[in-house]
Amino acid sequence: MPSRTRHAPTSPRRVLVTGAASGLGLALVRAFVGRGDHVLATDVLDERPDLVPPAAAYLPLDVRSDDAWAAALAHVRETWGGLDLLVNNAGVAAGGRIDVATMDEWHWIVDINLLGVVRGCRTFTPLLKEQGRGHIVNTASLAGLVHAPGMAAYNTVKAGVVALSETLSHELAPHGIDVSVVCPSFFRTNLGASFQGADTEMEDAGKKMVSGSRRTADEVAAVVVRGIDARRDVILTDRDGHIVWRAKRFARPAYTAVMKRAASRVAHGR
């Protein structure tokens, strides 16, 4: 994947992370704090989560709320006077076949996983333009690049985050702003706890894949931080992701055959 530089920052960065109470968001907060960065951890919880490192500040932020985003911007301006790195990481999980998942489920996941990222980018882009520099990192998923059956809503919103990130990477480059999209495959996290939906069969399958992964959130976060340092446009976090993504791009018939076999297993409950 393309990159522009390959060195770590020489001074502490001012970093805002959404979805920072658990999973990849929390792991990223720990990684940034460990490097000496100034970190503002945010999450939907009103009370500061116990696991957030003491060195990080905490601010409640519901990514569905324009007012909450405006408050976060005001806090950053007042506290730091600027921002170096915005990590739009907050997200929820939802599986479901197209004729089983409800429209309420679609609205729920679109509002958080896609429009939450849009709101973050819209809120902080004017500040980054004023500075003439900055870096936006949006967490998507390998599901944004490779679209397995039975995950229509999740695949769609994550593909939207990939498309948004690529668009902004071009659009904001003249202003000195970098944009990266993170596309991890399955790793051990509590994301399964946020699963909602009528398609309990697909929900159970998704939870098993998450819990059965050998990768930890901290391991994934370490790869993400290296990708940010290298200012990569697309950050894939493991070997499996690279293999599947290349198969889709360069061996499309084989990739399609695998996905159709997976769809057959889903259809027959295997």
Residue 132: how many CB atoms within 10 A of its CB?
Answer: 9
Residue 42 counted as domain residue: yes
Domain housing 34: 14-238
Q: How far apart are the first and last CA of the chain?
A: 35
pLDDT, residue 76, reads: 99
Q: What is the rounded distance in angstroms from the CA atom of residue 101 to the CA atom of residue 212?
A: 24
pLDDT, residue 244, reads: 82
pLDDT, residue 47, reads: 97
pLDDT, residue 243, reads: 86
Residue 255 counted as domain residue: no
Residue 63 counted as domain residue: yes
- Residues catalogued as catalytic: 154
Query: What are the tens digits of pLDDT across the range 160-219?
Result: 999 999 999 999 999 999 999 999 987 545 555 555 665 555 555 444 444 455 789 999
Contacts of 82 (CB under 8 A, 6+ apart): 14, 76, 127, 131
Residue 86 counted as domain residue: yes
Residue 153 in tokens: 């809503």
Q: What is the rounded distance in angstroms from the CA atom of residue 179 to the CA atom of residue 10?
A: 20
Overall domain count for the chain: 1
Residue 49 counted as domain residue: yes
Residue 222 counted as domain residue: yes
The model's pTM is 0.87
The domain that holds 224 is classified in CATH as 3.40.50.720
Residue 257 counted as domain residue: no
Residue-wise burial string across 75-85, b where 16 or more C-beta atoms lie within 10 A, e elsewhere: bbeeeeeebbb
**Which residues of the chain fall below pLDDT 50?**
1-3, 5-7, 188, 205-211
Mean pLDDT of the chain: 88
Q: What is the rounded distance in angstroms from the CA atom of residue 203 to the CA atom of residue 197?
A: 8
Residue 132 counted as domain residue: yes
pLDDT, residue 65, reads: 99
pLDDT, residue 6, reads: 41
Q: How far is CA 195 from CA 17, 19, 91, 111, 223, in A?
A: 21, 15, 11, 15, 25
pLDDT, residue 61, reads: 99
Residue 168: how many CB atoms within 10 A of its CB?
Answer: 18
